[in-house]
Structure 1
Amino acid sequence: MNDAIIPYNAWILVSDASKALLLRNVGNAFNLMLEVQQVIENPHNAPAREQGTDKPGRVAMGSHRSSVGQTNFHEQQEERFLSMVAEKLEAICEQNDVHKLFVVAPPKALADLRRAMPETTRRRIAAEYDKDLVNLPLNEIERHLAA
């Protein structure tokens, strides 16, 4: 994982925009054994046609008129979910005295997580890995992180 060694008792957040796994390494730095501490899932997000059916709005500026872009309700829900994950992560880091945190997420989700995390949580991050591993079995996640 980019030359980062995951030591014993390190915490790993594996997330995307709809699911997050909070894992802890109960093995050692050379033999990862990840244990699931918490699973956070995004509640069902209805299809866009059920969330908003109006046409995009129009704006008049002097003699010019233009349309306003369509709201992406799914993207808004994903950003809210990642903000919620960041809040829960902050609370867990405080409660469990987490010193090293590793974050694994696809690039866009990683950027949204960084934006939502408070500075105290960001300082605990030892490494970031920009891959989508959240839907893989635990042994596959271990294999990717050990590589």
Structure 2
Amino acid sequence: MTHLPVPHKTLIVVGTGEGAKFYRNAGKNGDLKLQHSKDLEPGDLADQGPAGKQPPDTSAKESMEATFAKILANHLYALAQSHKFDDLILVLDPDTLGETRPSLHVSVTDKIMLELPKTLVNSPTDEIEKSIMAAL
């Protein structure tokens, strides 16, 4: 089975509305080998807010997840502006991917090689790798 090669040092973000794990591709010659680099946690969201208007019946959890999606988008923008990645794979649960996508700057979206709407944040790295390779 052929798939798109994953460039060395590709940034892979795996997350939900409650946090994200950042990986780099340590594989060579288009192979995928995830290497954990850091976690992004929502922290104290009291002084932050979700992007855009929120419906009045939005729960606190939904508001927190929307706020984290905005934080994630801003973090990816800062990394893109600092030239910290050339290629990006987003593996986010479907709700978080839907919340994050509209907040992503074009400097980030231009680098996306795959968006995978799956909840894999607590999965072992080999399972994440298999899911990504199956989607490419």
What TM-score do the two structures reach when normalised by structure 2?
0.78
CA contact (8 A) 1:12 1:103 kept: yes
Q: What are the superposed Cα offsets for residues 66-117 of structure 1, whole Å, 9 maximum, x if unpaired? A: xx95441111111111111111111122324422111111221111111121
TM superposition shift of 1:42:
2.8
Matched AA of 1:94: Q
Match of 1:88 among 65, 75, 78: 75
Matched AA of 2:6: I
1:116 aligns with 2:106: no
Question: Equivalents in 2 of 1:108, 1:96: separation in Å?
Answer: 28
Q: What are the superposed Cα offsets for residues 17-70 of structure 1, whole Å, 9 maximum, x if unpaired? A: 11101111011255321111220123489xxxxxxxxxxxxxxxxxxxxxx954
Match of 2:90 among 98, 103, 108: 103
Aligned residue in 2 for 1:17 = 17
State the identity %. Answer: 27
The total of aligned residue pairs comes to: 123
Runs (5+) with no aligned partner, structure 2: 46-54
Structure possessing the higher radius of gyration over alpha carbons: 1
Runs (5+) with no aligned partner, structure 1: 46-67
The 3 A distance-change label for structure 1 pair 9 and 119 is same
